[in-house]
Amino acid sequence: MLKNLENRKSYSYKYKLIINGQPRHFQFTMMRSKDQKHFVLYEKDIDDEIRKEKQQLKALNTEKELARRDELTGVKNKTAYNELLSRQALFMLFLPSMPDTTLQTSR
């Protein structure tokens, strides 16, 4: 951890503990004091923040899904198909060229 502070003002990481059978999220932060001789260490319970982030992400994904379906029929709309085509085009762009797999037989 000290090595992480060599070029930074502070260093922190997030971790999860199981407390009474339930996961809880924390953040540990370490920083040097102004005199450069001491360290300040603190731990913060970020469980509520993580929970809110997950709820927001879930709500966003739900909204994205609703925006890509026709309300009446439930069929995917033009936006959904355009995104699918874009993903396929991107995949094809980065797909390495495949060697010719034609079976050669000698006669």
Residues 39, 74, single domain; the answer is no
Sign of the CA dihedral 7, 12, 14, 19? positive
Q: Is the pLDDT of residue 103 over 80?
A: no
Is there a domain that residue 12 lies in?
yes
Q: Which residue range(s) make up the domain with 4? A: 1-45
Question: pLDDT, tens digit, for every residue of 25-46?
Answer: 999 999 988 888 888 999 999 9
Is there a domain that residue 104 lies in?
no
pTM for the whole structure? 0.57
Assess contact for 63 and 79: CB atoms under 8 A: no
Higher pLDDT, 7 or 104: 7
Is there a domain that residue 10 lies in?
yes
Residues 65, 34, single domain; the answer is no
Residues 22, 62, single domain; the answer is no
* Rounded-to-integer distance, Cα 87 and Cα 81, Å: 10
Bridge partners of residue 72, in order along the sequence? none
The tally of domains found in the chain comes to 2
* Rounded-to-integer distance, Cα 70 and Cα 81, Å: 12
Residues 58, 25, single domain; the answer is no
CATH of the domain at 7: 3.30.1300
Q: Which helix (H) or strand (E) holds 56?
A: helix 47-67
Is there a domain that residue 3 lies in?
yes
